[in-house]
Amino acid sequence: MSNITFTMIKPDAVSNGHSGKIIDQIIQAGFTIQAMKYVRLSKETAGSFYGIHRERPFFNDLVEFMTSGTIVAAILVKENAVADFRNLIGATDPKKAEPGTIRNLFAKSIEANAMHGSDSDENAANEANFFFSAFERF
């Protein structure tokens, strides 16, 4: 059971004006925000963040997409944060995401899928530390 997860509102959702609705949905689902900021990723930073996918066919497009606009990065706190947040955002492919999930409501495609959510407690801690220093976390 974890207390934190890391998320990004991806460039598609930010540029389409969905950030406010998404943050509201996150808060209404019981998460509190420990840290949050606007970020524009470099190719190097995006490639490093998604390094586990480096050999996958979609890697270059994913880096291109993630550097195409501003994102909102955040650390969220809740009991069972990682699993509960994955349920809130829905499946990677929005066509397979349950009705009412953030990806079902706001994602355009399997690549431009509106949100990131950590997939384990260990990755949540690493991803939170990758984006935020101690004095940015409350």
Any idea which residues carry the catalytic annotation?
116
Chain residues 38-67 in contact with ligand UDP, contact rule CB under 6 A: 53, 58, 62
Cα–Cα distance, 114 to 22 (Å, whole number): 9
Among residues 19, 34, 68, 92, the one that binds ligand UDP under rule CB under 6 A: 92
Q: Is 79 in contact with 3 (CB distance < 8 Å)?
A: yes
Q: Note whether 20 and 125 are within 8 A (CB).
A: no
Binding residues among 101-120 for Mg ion as defined by CB under 5 A: 119
**CA 107/CA 114 separation, integer angstroms:** 5
- How far apart CA 34 and CA 99 sit, in angstroms, is 28
**Residue 96 or 137 with smaller CB distance to ligand UDP:** 96
Answer for which of 77, 111, 123, 125 binds ligand UDP (CB under 6 A) is: 111
DSSP letter (8 states) at residue 109: S
| CB 129, min distance to Mg ion, A | 17
Beta carbon of residue 4, minimum distance to Mg ion (angstroms, whole number)? 16
- Cβ atoms 27, 136 nearer than 8 A: no
Give me the residues that bind Mg ion (CB under 5 A), please: 119
Give me the residues that bind ligand UDP (CB under 6 A), please: 53, 58, 62, 92, 110-111, 113, 116, 119
